[in-house]
Amino acid sequence: MVDAVIFDLDGTLVDSAPDIHSGVNELLAAEGVAPLAFATVRSFIGGGVAVLITRVIAATGLPATRHADLCSRFIARYEHDPGGLTRPYDGVEAALDALADLPLGLCTNKPEGPTRALLAHLGWSGRFSVIVGGDTLAVRKPDPAPLALAIQQIGGGPVLFVGDSEVDAETAHRAGVPLLLFSGGYRSTPVADLAHRAAFDHWQDMPALVR
């Protein structure tokens, strides 16, 4: 048994790639740059906004000196419209309901502002007692510190971390926390090559992995 469950957000609880793709292409349009394909932007998600924009700059040839400005403009736009195209994966709400007797936390690389805006948009503001975002600390996943902070804030007992990506697998490994790996998110590495306690393809199967 565990005392709490901590979740990643993008690619784990919600398919947010359509909004992130649209936000990136709005930014590029304002720069007079051709849009990037959906699959390209989706593959850039997981390391937080600074990593996303670094990858966008590398893919488009925009000057690296624009990085800070592009990050703040992306975050401002995203916080303003965090969820128009974003949907929870099938079965997520039922799974969160099934686990609602446990403290639930979020450890995401999405900055806190857009994270809280997206939770409000989804009607999920009350679901998570702890939220650690990509700008809560000076470091982000795969540094283990954000997950360690979430565990400390949720009470410090044995926890499970639920995530979708290479970043989550490395974070869990470095924090010494067992990972439940959702196979349907933004991972590009085969499931078998990522350290995890258990993997699941459908959220309806997830609560049984906690109990």
Binding-site residues for Mg(2+) sit at: 8, 10, 164
Binding-site annotation, residues: 8, 10, 164
Q: What does the block give as tokens for 117?
A: 């805006």
Q: Report the DSSP beta bridge partners of residue 5.
A: 104, 160
Cβ nearer to ligand PGA, comparing 28 with 53: 53
Binding site for ligand PGA (CB under 6 A): 8-11, 45-48, 52, 108-110, 141
**Identity of the residue, 76 or 208, whose beta carbon is nearer to ligand PGA in the bound complex:** 76
Determine the Cα angle at 42 with ends 39 and 43, to 5°.
Answer: 90
The contact mask relative to Mg ion for 47-86 (x = CB under 5 A, - = no) is ----------------------------------------
Smallest gap from residue 36 Cβ to Mg ion (A): 19
Regarding 135 and contact with Mg ion (CB under 5 A), the answer is no
Q: Widest CA span of the chain, in angstroms?
A: 54
Annotated active-site residue 8? The verdict is yes
Q: Single out the residue of 7, 11, 162, 200 in contact with Mg ion (rule: CB under 5 A).
A: 11
Binding mask 162-181 for Mg ion (x = CB under 5 A): --xx----------------
Q: Which residue, 92 or 208, has its beta carbon nearer to ligand PGA?
A: 92
Q: How near is the Cβ of 30 to Mg ion at its closest, in Å? A: 27
Q: Which of 8, 15, 19, 168 is catalytic?
A: 8
Contact 147, 175 (CB under 8 A): yes
- What sign for the dihedral angle of Cα 22, 67, 82, 77? negative
Query: Which among ligand PGA, Mg ion, none contacts residue 77 (Cβ within 5 to 8 A by kind)?
Result: none
State the nearest-atom distance from the C-beta of 179 to Mg ion, in Å. 12
Both tokens assigned to 143: 């540094």
- Footprint of Mg ion (CB under 5 A): 8, 10-12, 164-165
- Catalytic residue numbers read 8
